[in-house]
């Protein structure tokens, strides 16, 4: 991802966090859903780092099973700031 696109994405995530404050599970679920819809996809890394969703997996589970959201998970390798490659989840909306 180029630097401009990464900066735009980070700004969008910051805006979502500002518009949906709070650390309760409902606010976290809302941030996850808004981010997926606004950006097309969101990674576990972005959710933890930028949206204060420390463990996104339960929030995605709740969105799927309690709210009926069609959220898909794919995996990809991504390098952290320290240069270590990890397989991370990428969440996106599925077909209705």
Phi, psi of 14 (to 5 degrees): -60, -40
Identify whether the C-beta of residue 50 lies closer than 8 Å to the C-beta of residue 17.
yes
**pTM of model > 0.85:** yes
Identify whether the C-beta of residue 59 lies closer than 8 Å to the C-beta of residue 32.
yes
Cα separation, 36 vs 13, in Å, equals: 10
Question: How does pLDDT run across 64-86, given as a tens digit for each residue?
Answer: 999 999 999 999 999 888 999 99
Question: How does pLDDT run across 4-24, given as a tens digit for each residue?
Answer: 998 999 999 999 999 999 999
pLDDT band with cut points at 50, 70 and 90 for residue 2: confident
């Amino acid at each position: 991802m180029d630097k401009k696109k990464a900066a735009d994405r980070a700004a969008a995530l910051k805006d979502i966090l500002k518009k949906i404050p709070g650390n309760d599970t409902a606010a976290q679920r809302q941030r996850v859903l808004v981010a997926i819809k606004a950006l097309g996809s969101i990674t576990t890394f972005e959710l933890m780092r930028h949206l204060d969703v420390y463990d996104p997996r339960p929030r995605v589970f709740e969105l799927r099973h309690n709210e009926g959201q069609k959220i898909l998970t794919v995996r990809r390798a991504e390098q952290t700031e320290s240069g270590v490659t990890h397989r991370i989840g990428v969440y996106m909306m599925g077909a209705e």
